Chain A
Amino acid sequence: MRCLIFISVLLLVGVCQAVERDYQLKPQQVAEDTYVLIGHDEHFSFSNGGNIVNTGFIVTEAGVVVIDSGPSRLYGEQLKAAIARVTDKPVVKLFITHMHPDHFLGNQAFEDLPIGALKKTQGGIRLLGETFNDNLYRLVGSWMKGTRVVAPNLQVEPGLEEIGGHRLQLIALKGHTGADLVILDQTSGVLFAGDLVFYGRTPTTPHARLDEWQAALQQLQKLDFKVLVPGHGPPVTSEVAISQTSAYLNWLQTYLTEQAGSGAAMAELLQPEAPQHLRELAVFSEEYTRSLSHLYPALEAAALAEGKVEQQQ
């Protein structure tokens, strides 16, 4: 009996010590010098540790340029280690595409480097970063251990920037958030689209303006790229991810506007009528429900404003 207890205690200690968690990051080459780490098509959860996002890096003559740092300190550190398995060149710069927590909470691992982002992204992270960090602790738990908000320390302006033989076109767009940075590597033809493009996975809308987002997608259609890296979902060589994102957003906007116009209450819309090809997107039902919460209040306010009311007070 005593022996059994002893063994149980040992097992428990073992379990507790095995908590240095491993994201199993595996860089996949998508073009010359260019690698992507593809996240799960899921929601934040303990089992995925918040790794639902794509990050990427470009190995240039002058060092490595990283695009987005992932959801936690641990992810950032493991990203750095994964890069070191590909090249012995040091990381020289990090770009953050936008203010969402799965894209920047790994910044700690790159704290000493220039971390570039659009001005509004810097501001958004300063304002909401801690809230996001707390939210992720609640959603993914101990994977977030030791994670602290490091806001981007360098304001990026749109235009061309050449780093170690790679001509990077920095494009400032908006729609998914108030500031979405897109990076087109003209040298390799890889387009890092950030969360303006989702592929096979339902887009998220907590800070979205759908009209601006559609305009941004039209801009992206015009770019000359060989490979597109979406913020979530696998990289693709065609425009299909752009048109899929656009089709979903268009359906969302049309459906919710119509329902608001005909007087539907928000919670009557939890089982939407959506085309099959959109329903098949990963986490459709969860993301649609979240979007209902983000977008419906404004649409319903617009619909109610058309009503006829006389205040009698």
Chain B
Amino acid sequence: MRYRIYCLLFLLLARPLDLFAAESPADPLNSVMWHEMHQRLLDGAPVVFDERVRVSAPAVAEDSLNLPLWIDATALGEVERLLVFAELNPIPKVLDMQPLKAAPRIGLRIKVQQATPVRAAALTADGVWHLGGVLVDAAGGGCTAPSMGSGSSDWADRLGEVTARLWSRENHSRLRASIVHPMDTGLVAGIPAFYLEQLEIRASGGDLISRLALFEPIAENPVLTLDLPKVKQLTMAGRDNNGNPVEAQISESSQTGSNRL
């Protein structure tokens, strides 16, 4: 309900802005919300729809609380920001990444409330957002009940705990990390928004490798996949919106035999 009011407010506010904004190009996904998203999330900045920004997702979300995404903008070269949003979600913004030294690509899982365009916008140095996206249906396959959320009680003790692994690949290191967190959206009555909102990845010497801002739609116990320059050891540190810290040191496991491209 509160979200609806925000929506209305937003529509009212967005309207006058339109007069000054760059015109939104025609949307290949034909979404009714695209124009609003362009103003609201990208400040009406210049955009192009660009096949080099790839969003991979199943056409149908089998579990609407865990829709897997693979976002890849590496074909653009340097990317300053990578923004992911699910347009018809009550809270559209999913992720705002500054790749910095990491490759501009990321794997994650998100919650979707209904059929929606899922888009990635990659900002290049010339100030242009390059957009890719797909339509995802949230209907499910029929025999799956959505995962129950944080019904289990042990998350509180393990809040912020990181399970992760570093793989050495030919030209980079792959990091996969899973963080214990309920990622409550605040849209369920009586449960306030409680989510991881910031993560930084640093080399063991302290050099910043990549920075991520996370938002409510990311699935419970986020699992992130990132490709970094070759590292043997790194730290991942951040916090949630209540100030609870996450901090872990992750090293390449010596017994890792699977060196895949």
Contacts and interface: CB of A to CB of B under 8 A. Distances in A.
B70 A267 contact: yes
Given A309-B164, A311-B161, A311-B162, A263 B142 contact: no
Interface in A261-277: 261-263, 265-268, 270
Interface string B164-198: 11110100001011100000000000000000000
Indicate the size class of the contact surface on chain A. 35 or more
Interface residues of B, number: 50
B107 A268 contact: yes
A265 B166 contact: no
Contacts of B260: 262-263
B58 interface: yes
Contacts of A262: 167, 258, 260
A81 interface: no
Given A136-B142, A206-B144, A270-B58, A297 B107 contact: no
Interface in A221-268: 261-263, 265-268
Interface stretch (B19-27, B205-213, B241-249): B241-249
Nearest to B145: A131
A145 interface: no
A263 B141 contact: no
B163 interface: yes
Contacts of B69: 267
A313 B174 contact: no
A267 B223 contact: no
Given A270-B56, A307-B163, A290 B141 contact: yes
Interface stretch (A112-120, A148-156, A181-189, A298-306): A298-306
Interface stretch (B28-36, B37-45, B60-68): B60-68
B98 interface: no
B130 interface: no
B143 A261 contact: no
A101 B144 CA distance: 10
Given A293-B62, A293-B68, 15 more contacts: A100-B143, A135-B142, A135-B143, A204-B143, A206-B141, A267-B57, A268-B70, A293-B58, A297-B66, A305-B163, A306-B255, A306-B256, A307-B176, A308-B166, A312-B235
Interface of A: 43-44, 100-102, 128, 131-132, 135-136, 138-139, 204, 206-207, 261-263, 265-268, 270, 286, 289-290, 292-294, 296-297, 300-301, 303-313
- A-B pairs, 8 with minimum CB distance: A265-B107, A307-B165, A267-B70, A265-B225, A266-B68, A293-B62, A267-B68, A312-B247
